[in-house]
Structure 1
Amino acid sequence: MTQVHSSRVTNGAFLILGVLLIAIGLRSPITGVGPLLEQMQQQLSLSATQAGMLTTLPLLVFACFSPIASKIGRRIGLERALMLSLFCLLIGITVRSFGSLTSLFGGTLIIGVGIAIANVLLPSLMKRDFPTKVATITSIYVLMMGVGSALSASLAIPMMHLADSLSISFIPNWAFALGGIIIFPIIAIFVWLPQIKNRTKPTQDTLEFDSHSYIWYSASAWQITLFLALNSFLMYTFISWLPSILIDSGYSHENAGVIHGLLQLFTAVPAIIMIPMMAKMKDKRLLSTGLTSLVLISILGFILLPTLAIVWSMMFGFGAGGGFILALTLISIRTSDPHQAASLSGMAQCLGYLLAASGPVLIGAVHEASGSWTLPLLICVFANVLWIIFSFFASKSELILSPQQDELAQQTLAQQV
Structure 2
Amino acid sequence: MTTAHVPRAAILSPVATGVTVAVLALNLRPAVTSMGALLTRIETAADLSPVLAATLVSLPTWCFAVGGWAAWRLRARFGIRGVITAALAVLTLSLVARTLPGDVAILAGTTAACLAIAVLGALLPVIVRTATPSSAACYTACLGAGSALGALLTPTALAWQVGLGCWAILAAVALVIWIGSSRHLTALAGSARAVRVSPRTLFPRGTVATLTVHFGLLSAVTFVLMGRLAAILHAAGLTPAESELHFAAAMVLGVPVSLAVPYLTRRVPHTPLAISFAGASITGLTGLMISPASVTWLWTGLLGVGLGALGLALVDLGRRTRGDPDTTAALSSVVQGLGYTLAGVLALGIGLLETATGTWTWPLFALVVALVGQAMTGTTIGDVRTTPTSKEVPR
Which category of TM-score, normalised to the shorter sequence, fits these structures? Answer: 0.7 to 0.9
Is 1:226 aligned to residue 213 of structure 2?
yes
Q: How much does 1:341 deviate?
A: 5.4
1:137 deviates by 1.1
Greater Cα offset, 341-350 or 13-22:
341-350
- 1:351 pairs with 2:349: no
Q: Distance in 1 between matches of 2:66 and 2:146?
A: 25
Contact 2:72 2:330 in 1 (8 A): no
Matched, 1:191 2:177: yes
Task: Tell me which residue corresponds to 1:154.
Answer: 152
Task: Show the 5 A alignment for 1:406-417.
Answer: none
CA contact (8 A) 2:354 2:360 kept: yes
Q: Is the 8 A contact 1:99 1:175 kept in 2?
A: no
Q: Aligned residue for 2:393?
A: none
Displacement, 1:48?
2.8
Separation (CA, whole Å) in 1 of partners of 2:43 and 2:314: 35
Shift of 1:332: 4.8
3-state secondary structure, aligned to 1:306 = coil
Alignment correspondent of 2:363: 376
Aligned to 1:69: 71
Aligned to 1:276: 263
1:143 to 141, 144, 147: 141
Question: Which residue number in structure 2 is paired with residue 96 of structure 1?
Answer: 98
Say which of 97, 108, 112 aligns to 1:110.
112
Task: Give the alignment of 1:360-371 within 5 angstroms.
Answer: 360-371=347-358
* Cα separation, 1, equivalents of 2:385 and 2:72: 26
Could you tell me which runs of 5 or more consecutive residues in structure 2 were left unpaired when the two chains were aligned: 388-395
In 1, the alpha carbon distance for the partners of 2:376 and 2:13 equals: 46
Opposite residue 33 of structure 1, the aligned amino acid is: M
Pick closer, same or farther for the CA change 1:301–1:100 going to 2, 3 Å. Answer: same
Please tell me whether residue 175 in structure 1 is matched to residue 161 in structure 2: yes
The alpha-carbon deviation at position 126 of structure 1 amounts to: 3.1
Number of the residue aligned with 1:17: 19
CA distance in 1, matches of 2:114, 2:71: 12
Task: For 2:286 and 2:223, locate their aligned partners in 1 and report how far apart those are by CA, in whole Å.
Answer: 17
Please give the alpha-carbon distance, in whole angstroms, between the structure 1 residues aligned to 2:80 and 2:345. Answer: 31
CA distance in 2 between partners of 1:46 and 1:197 (Å): 44
Q: Could you report, residue by residue, the CA deviation over 1:104-156 in whole angstroms, capped at 9, with x for unpaired residues?
A: 011112212321232233222334443xx1xx211112111211211111222
1:327 alignment counterpart: 313
Q: What is the identity percentage for the equivalent residue pairs of Structure 1 and Structure 2? A: 22
Could you tell me which residue of structure 1 aligns to residue 227 of structure 2? 240
Inter-CA distance 330–68: structure 2 relative to 1 (3 Å threshold): closer
Partners of 1:294 and 1:200 lie apart in 2 by 37
Contact 1:62 1:115 in 2 (8 A): yes
Is 2:30 the partner of 1:32? no
Q: Distance in 1 between matches of 2:266 and 2:180?
A: 35
Greater RCO, 1 or 2 (C-alpha within 8 Å, sep 6+): 2
- Relative distance call for 1:232 and 1:280 in structure 2 (3 A) is same
2:276 aligns with one of 290, 298, 302:
290
Greater C-alpha radius of gyration:
1
Cα distance change of structure 1 residues 379 and 343 upon mapping to structure 2, 3 Å threshold: same
Asked if structure 1 preserves the Cα contact closer than 8 Å seen for 2:126 and 2:329, the reply is no
Relative to the length of structure 1, the TM-score reads: 0.81
Structure 1 match to 2:297: 310
1:386 paired residue number: 373
Partner of 1:257: 244
Unaligned runs of 5+ in 1: 163-172, 404-417
Distance 2:248 2:260 in 1: 20
> Which amino acid in 1 is paired with 2:30?
S
CA shift in 2, pair 1:25/1:346, >3 Å: closer
Q: Which digits, 9 at most, give the CA deviation of each residue in 1:221-264, with x for residues without a partner?
A: 33332221111111111111111011112222222222212222
CA distance in 1, matches of 2:171, 2:72: 21
Give me the whole-angstrom Cα distance separating, in 1, the residues matched to 2:102 and 2:278.
Answer: 39
Match of 1:372, SS state, is coil
Cα offset for 1:2? Answer: 8.3
Counterparts in 2 of 1:201-212, with a 5 A limit?
Answer: 202-203=189-190, 207-212=195-200
8 A contact 2:151–2:248 mirrored in 1: yes
Residue in 2 that maps onto 1:406: none
Q: 1:149 to 1:2 in 2, by over 3 A?
A: farther
Q: Any conservation in 2 of the 1:223–1:390 contact (CA below 8 Å)?
A: yes
Amino acid at match of 2:251: Q
- The C-alpha deviation readout for 1:65-118, integer Å capped at 9, x for no partner, is 234334444555434432322211110111001131111011112212321232
Contact 2:68 2:336 in 1 (8 A): no
- Structure 1 counterpart of 2:197, one-letter code: F
- Aligned residue for 2:101, secondary structure, equals coil
**Deviation at residue 180 of structure 1 after TM alignment:** 2.2
* 1:55 to 1:292, Cα distance in 2 relative to 1, 3 A: same
